[in-house]
Structure 1
Amino acid sequence: MPARSELTPALRERICELHSAAHWGYRRIHQRYPWISISTIRYTIKKEHERRAGVSKPRSGRPRKLDTTDKVRLLDAISENPRITHEDLLAEVSHKVKIDSIRRLLNTENLRKWRCSWRPYLTEEHALKRLRWATRYRHFTKEDWARWNVGLVYVENGPLSVQKTSRKRDNAKGYHTEGNK
């Protein structure tokens, strides 16, 4: 059952006044205010002495570190720059919280922090191999390249291994499958 809204301080005061001054019982108050359950009326009267001027006490527990303005500031920063770093996000809220709290906030908003995928650096050995390949094929024209299919064909060599091979475009779809080898 969804949570209902609280009674207004004026209505609480009226219920308590009817009980103490007019000596009305819970059922009679319920007949006067049928949209309020008897258990709510009983609880309101029971907790009357704990309230100050009919206002609810603040919730128990530790207060939240990020208030609504901090949350809005974080979400705006991410929408403006999706590649913002975690350090910049922490600086946005003056390092009030840790990274996990920001992740939790994004999770409740159904957002995921953008994360750059790892890209290997080009070593000197790889650069030399690329240079050798480029110099070997520098005389190729567009027509020469058109004869080669740029796509790769996967050939199965066993239950777990896959080998990549290229084929000429002239070859009549020479896919290596179990039925056609």
Structure 2
Amino acid sequence: MNIDERIRELMEKRQQARLGGGEERIAKQHSRGKLTARERIDMLLDEGSFEEHDMFVTHRCTDFGMEKQSYLADGVVCGYGTIDGRLVCVYAMDFTVFGGSLSETFANKICKVMDKAMKIGCPIIGLNDSGGARIQEGVMSLGGYAEIFQRNIMASGTVPQISAIFGPC
């Protein structure tokens, strides 16, 4: 495979990740008067400032037929950008992917961006739209909540933490 083919493949994979759970689920989200995770980030941050982390991450669950259902970014969009030129870290739960439910890898992505915010001392913004834990993963997804909450405690009094709730959460 030559470099042009690899670049084309990368661009296609990025486009697939940007679609989250797919065009049909995006349309359903819009029909409810709701924005997608990426649309929320685009509205929040300065234009063109968002840098996404872990766009190609997928869940690791193989129980209950989950190995046949995999989406790039695994239901949460994480990264950093600026608001009025000031650096912030942000994550947005993507309801189009498994109802925004939290998996082990989903939690790891949030923890990673929270760690980055604490390391550099910038605010962390969470845009929450989730049906809760991804029950197919059992205690692995529940353990992810513990890791996130631990970081909430560690960041308390250190960096601003802002949350917005958009769904059932």
Shorter-chain TM band? under 0.3
- Structure-2-length-normalised TM-score: 0.20
- Larger relative contact order, structure 1 or 2 (CA cutoff 8 Å, min sep 6): 2
| Structure with greater strand share of residues | 2
- Structure-1-length-normalised TM-score: 0.19
